[in-house]
Amino acid sequence: MDNIRRILHIDLDAFFCAVEEIRDPSLKGKPFAVGGSPDQRGVVASCSYPARKFGVRSAMPMAQAVKLCPNLKIIRGHYHDYSQASHQVMDYLKEITDQVEQISIDEAFLDVSSLPSSSKDLAVRIQTYINSELNLPCSIGIAANKLVAKIATDFGKISSGQFDRPPNAIHIVPPGLEADFLAPLPVKALWGVGPKTETNLKEKNIHTIGDLTKIPEMEMINLFGKWGYALSQRARGIDDRPLSLKHEAKSISQETTFAQNIKDEEVLIDTIDRIARQISRRLIKKNLQATTVRIKLRWPDFTTITRQLTAAHPTNDQLVIRDEAVGLFHKAWKKGQAVRLIGVGVSGLAPEQLDLWNYQSKLAQKKSQQQLKSAISAIRDKFGEDVLKWGEDLDD
């Protein structure tokens, strides 16, 4: 019994909408959605519970949402506020235990195995604090592993019967009852079962997770290979993955020291371009977005300045980072001034969100990629041995 873990999964209910209601309490009880505009192929990022009654769902095209709910109020979104509220929640959770794995802006796992209080007491305490001190509704799932805890949260939300206000659910799956809890649920409730696998399973007359457990493991392996084995394990509620507590980068930066001092504006801007592209690539690889862009310039006399700017929306888009860095550069640099080093950095990092805001710049990005590539190889040919330095400040 000693080795049984106690995992809490916490998920804020309609998080963006809850923050919007703090900003503007008159939104309470009204159908509204945060997202892009319906005539610009916008998508619903989050919708209030009253909007859900009309069938509005997140990730749905806004045009469709407006058809379902003609009185739907559309809010463009205040990302900075979401990010701040998220930090407050995560900071609070880290006060409870250092065993916290944040999995998105509004979701986290806590491993509370080593804490003296019961899981239920902890969940009630956490929910009460987040409700009353941070004014945010949240639901919590409790189980012996991450897989089942997360499904327990979703189950709690749905079975709460609250459709016009946030569910604020707490659902506990006692150890040993994982398979029983999962059995009646549809297979798509399992992590990793997308529409394709779901169709595949339905063709084999497998609809519920319980159906899945009736298929011998060997047959699952024959049908789906390695994935079949994993699926078999998950269907039985088995999941040994520990929390991932890797230290998150707080900032990402890169700088270039020129082999000779540079006065040529075009070369300086090409350098910013190249660094922005590499930073963007690193952000995308880590599924992160940044809100603050900064630039560092060193003059031939070794004096160094930095300038930074916090944007309205988080981004990992190379062109947005580039444009902000170039803007900062132009404010700090006078024509003809020699530069010894240029650095670009980003901070205010948070997990990537549905990309509602950068849709158009992504299109522009594709177009400019060719131009950019040739600019980069040109500058490489010209200056050869740049000294490149990557920087990453770690949270510790």
Q: Which of residues 14-33 bind Mg ion (CB under 5 A)?
A: 15
Find the shortest distance in angstroms from Cβ 132 to Mg ion: 19
The tokens for 10 are 């916490």
216, 273 contact by CB (below 8 A):
no
Spatial distance between the Cα atoms of 237 and 149, rounded to a whole number of angstroms: 10
- Specify the stretch interacting with Mg ion by CB under 5 A; choose among 98-106, 151-159, 229-237, 257-265: 98-106
The tokens for 147 are 């897989």
Q: Which are the contacts of 250, defined by CB distance < 8 A and separation ≥ 6? A: 347, 349, 393, 394, 395
Report the residue number, 317 or 355, with the smaller CB distance to Mg ion. Answer: 355
Report the residue number, 47 or 297, with the smaller CB distance to Mg ion. Answer: 47
- Specify the stretch interacting with Mg ion by CB under 5 A; choose among 4-12, 141-149, 188-196, 249-257: 4-12
Find the shortest distance in angstroms from Cβ 37 to Mg ion: 23
The continuous run of DSSP H or E covering 185 comes out as none
- Specify the stretch interacting with Mg ion by CB under 5 A; choose among 19-27, 70-78, 106-114, 276-284: 106-114
Q: Which are the contacts of 372, defined by CB distance < 8 A and separation ≥ 6? A: 273, 277
Indicate the SS3 state at residue 271. Answer: helix
Q: Which of 107, 178, 255, 324 is catalytic?
A: 107
- Specify the stretch interacting with Mg ion by CB under 5 A; choose among 100-108, 187-195, 254-262, 315-323: 100-108
Report the residue number, 169 or 206, with the smaller CB distance to Mg ion. Answer: 169
Could you give the C-alpha distances from 215 to 53, 189, 224, 228, 345, in angstroms and in order? 37, 18, 12, 10, 52
Q: Which of residues 55-94 bind Mg ion (CB under 5 A)?
A: none
Q: Which of residues 328-387 bind Mg ion (CB under 5 A)?
A: none
Q: At what angle do helices 265-285 and 359-383 cross, to 10 degrees?
A: 120
Q: Which are the contacts of 55, defined by CB distance < 8 A and separation ≥ 6? A: 68, 69
Find the shortest distance in angstroms from Cβ 182 to Mg ion: 21
Q: Please tell me whether residue 106 binds Mg ion under the rule CB under 5 A.
A: yes
Q: Which of residues 272-291 bind Mg ion (CB under 5 A)?
A: none
User: Is-catalytic flag, 107?
Assistant: yes
Q: Which residue has the tokens 């959770």?
A: 93
Q: Which are the contacts of 299, defined by CB distance < 8 A and separation ≥ 6? A: 337, 338, 339, 340
Report the residue number, 12 or 27, with the smaller CB distance to Mg ion. Answer: 12
Find the shortest distance in angstroms from Cβ 155 to Mg ion: 14
Given the DSSP bridges, would you call strands 170-172 and 138-143 parallel, antiparallel or unpaired?
Answer: parallel
Report the residue number, 140 or 379, with the smaller CB distance to Mg ion. Answer: 140
Find the shortest distance in angstroms from Cβ 106 to Mg ion: 4
Report the residue number, 11 or 111, with the smaller CB distance to Mg ion. Answer: 11
Find the shortest distance in angstroms from Cβ 236 to Mg ion: 27
- Specify the stretch interacting with Mg ion by CB under 5 A; choose among 103-111, 141-149, 177-185, 217-225: 103-111
- Beta pairing partners, 345: 253, 294
Which residues of this protein are in contact with Mg ion, per CB under 5 A? 11-12, 15, 106
Active site residues: 107
